[in-house]
Amino acid sequence: MINRNLKQQKYKDIILHYISVLNMALLVLLTLALPTACSDWNDIEPVNIDPQHPKDQNPELWARYMESLRVYKQERPHYITYGSFNNGAEQSKNEGAYLRSLPDSLDIVTLANPENITSYDREDIPTLQEKNTRVLYLVDYAAKMTELTDATALGSWLDKAVATANELHLDGFAFNGLPLYAGTDAEQAARKEAARLIVSKLSAVNKMLVFEGDPAFVNTNDLDKLDYVVMNTAGIESAVSLKIYVANVISTYALPKEKLLLAAKMGTKIVDEENVKQDAVTDMIGRVVSLGPLGGLAIYALGDDYYQTSMNYQSCRTAIQKMNPSK
């Protein structure tokens, strides 16, 4: 009986040994096969993604949409929405740094960095113009006044700006400058001559011409050459001061109200009549009508409006819709 049990135990040991050997062999085979299998799983397979522009998806519908934008901007009386955009981004963290992201209903955009035109800008400018958005070159004389101290240097700088704008097929110019309320007679005469030269050079191309700032900078005889004046209201912090400033501009200068644009900067506040701080862009929307009616609204640092909770360019789109509600 003992011998029989020993034999049975021996057979069990032999069987367990072979099972162990078999498991080890299977493990080796799986180990050898695994890299191949994983390699198969991880192989990069091309995916056929061919995103199409709406123009290519439905050319007829796109043409109708472009025509509706043309009619709205060129034929329908409406309040203007004007934006100052910091172009020039070669690489950006988000789409809001590129001109192509701007709302289709925007009337005018000024390139705040026109001396730094990137390949992206060159690609995007015709896209905006297809939508009848006028693209302007900013002649930032206020930033260059200390450098351009004589007429020759100023004239050369302006000629370069005109050449660049023509090469890019832009729709015109915006310019700025600071009036000189103090100083010697010679200094005041030089400032007036600089303003006259700027208007003369830029108006000669027969394109849109916009002034940004205090109209006192522009010679009285040249005011009628301006299509719009973006009033110097972006830095005003209270509604009371805003009303006084706008009333003074209207009464002092021979400018039609429809040529005057209020201005606000993204992210700034204004204190209303109830002494409550309001978002400046939102607050200015209603004042375009109540203080004039004026020509419309200019928004500085427009790219900062790209990321919003409800939609991209929420403040700008809201301004367009509230000033020009659909009929």
DSSP for 180-228, written as a single string: --SS-HHHHHHHHHHHHHHHHHHHTT-SEEEEES-GGGS-GGGGGG-SE
Residue whose token pair is 């992210």: 267
Residues 162-220 pLDDT 10s: 999 999 999 999 999 999 887 898 989 999 999 999 999 999 999 999 999 999 999 99
**Is the Cβ–Cβ distance between 294 and 262 less than 8 Å?**
yes
3-state secondary structure of 297: strand
* The predicted structure's pLDDT at residue 89: 83
Domain ranges of the chain: 79-323
Residue, of 200 and 25, whose pLDDT is higher: 200
The predicted model scores a pTM of 0.83
| 32-78 tens-digit pLDDT | 555 554 555 556 666 666 667 778 888 899 999 999 999 999 999 99
For 159, other C-beta atoms within 10 Å of its C-beta total 11
Pairing of strands 269-271, 228-230: unpaired
**Going by C-beta distance under 8 Å and a sequence separation of 6 or more, which residues neighbour residue 22?**
none
> What does the pLDDT read at residue 55?
81
Sign, CA torsion 30/36/42/45: negative
pLDDT of residue 86: 94
Is the CATH number of domain 79-323 3.50.50.60?
Answer: no
